[in-house]
Copies of this chain bind each other. A is one copy, B any other.
Amino acid sequence: MKQLFYNGVIVTGENQVVIPDGFMVVEDGVIEVVGTQDQLDQFSSIPNKVNLKGNWLIPGLINTHGHIGSTLLRGYGDDLPLATWLETKMWPMEAKFTDETINAAASLAILEMLKSGTTTFLEMYHLHLDLIANLVDTSGIRSCLTRGMIGLCSKTEQESKLAEALQLSRDLRKIGQGRITTMLAPHAPYTCPPEFLEMIVHEAKKQHLPIHTHLSETAKEVSEHFTKYGKRPVEHLAEIGVFDVHTLIAHGVHLTDEELDILEKYQVAVSHNPMSNLKLGSGIAPVGKMLKKQILVSIGTDSAASNNNLDMFQEMRMAALIHKGSSEDPTVVSANEAFLMATYNGAKALGFDSLGLVEVGYAADFVIVNAEKPHLQPNSHVLSHLVYSASGADVVEVYVNGKCLVRDGQCLTMDEEQIIFYANKAFKKLYS
């Protein structure tokens, strides 16, 4: 089915191109034409027309790191030292998680993400990924699902976790009509001994699977790593061969210039999680330096337990602001760079082809932003407003693969009232 979207401002996502009087034709989930209003006549016979009414059509936002299975822990522990937070708040609750918890949490998160303009998300989780995949399937969102593996266990258990991850990788990719991809996800260097990482790299190469891992989130973990191995984590992973596979690291807060050189050399992609890094007191990642080195930086929210929302507009804004302030240089991370991080760079980081731009041949994953909000006026500076002033609440419509998932701010594929009811019910059960 061909669809024509006309009378809108189109932000293609590349090189700050903003078409003030744009239109777009979509067929079979793919963008077929992007043009200006004066070329519109030749497409007037398309029966399915959507009048954008001057609103802004942008690529869907791509969240490259999170744990949506933990969404019910949003706000359950704030302002605590990291160890206290993990030991007294997160872990005791996570130990009680059931399939009901995960289902309620993941439904809530996908609903929140879709409504706020996220069309693709990466999930690292260790439980019930099959449930999450089913929700991806029915909600219509796109996802990269990774089974987080902690290797602080016997070799047999390590092998069993890896086998499970590989089997899941095969099974999950069959769900969601091609909208689900997978990666192998060793949790972190401090939870995965070298031998386990080697096993994972071996399988990743064999199965052509990328790798996703937490890396150098806190100063403490890096210092402990150095004490244990006599080298810093990036050097360690490079030596083990992790970076011989396409790798996406989450956080990357505590990195030396030498480590940045290694990431650049191996073209390792980064998921920058500024809100979570701030909230947990982890620090501020050297994103200005990463960009200078042409390291691929994308953006992730991390879990709602440490963010505490999944609004990629707010995350993008933070990514654009924080490095200016911390380096006292207002030219660091431009609006365009932040926008690319949240869209095209995210697609590349996750290994998706033809995703993250509003360009001919790209997947029709896009978002329509209400241009009539007071905080988006004067409406001449579209890219600036998208990065520095907009929020997920400005999203009116969301499409994935050309299918409308959110219309007039309401999710068409999920029952919001029911999801909120079950989220609270499941949390109360955990809490009691």
Contact = CB atoms under 8 A, between A and B. Distances in A.
A199 to B, nearest CB: 34
Contacts of A304: 375, 389
A359 interface: no
Interface in A291-316: 304, 307-311, 314
A416 interface: yes
Contacts of A79: 324, 330-331, 333-335
A281 interface: yes
A5 B308 CA distance: 29
Given A74-B377, A278-B324, A326-B326, A388 B80 contact: no
A42 B112 CA distance: 41
A389 B280 contact: no
Contacts of A115: 374
A106 to B, nearest CB: 12
Nearest to A324: B281
Interface stretch (A22-30, A145-153, A423-431): A423-431
A320 to B, nearest CB: 8
A309 B377 CA distance: 10
Copies of this protein in the assembly total 2
A303 B75 CA distance: 31
A334 B327 CA distance: 25
Contacts of A283: 325, 328
A377 B421 CA distance: 9
A169 B423 CA distance: 53
Interface stretch (A133-141, A177-185, A200-208, A379-387): A379-387
Given A79-B331, A281-B327, A378-B428, 7 more contacts: A281-B331, A282-B328, A314-B391, A374-B416, A374-B420, A391-B391, A393-B393
Interface of A: 72, 74-76, 78-82, 85, 108, 111-112, 115-116, 219, 274-275, 277-284, 304, 307-311, 314, 318, 321-322, 324-335, 372, 374-375, 377-381, 384-385, 388-389, 391-394, 416, 419-420, 423-424, 427-428, 431
The 5 closest A-B pairs by CB, nearest first: A75-B381, A393-B393, A278-B325, A281-B330, A75-B384
15 contacts: A74-B385, A75-B388, A78-B335, A79-B331, A81-B331, A85-B330, A112-B374, A275-B321, A280-B330, A282-B325, A309-B389, A311-B391, A318-B321, A378-B424, A378-B428
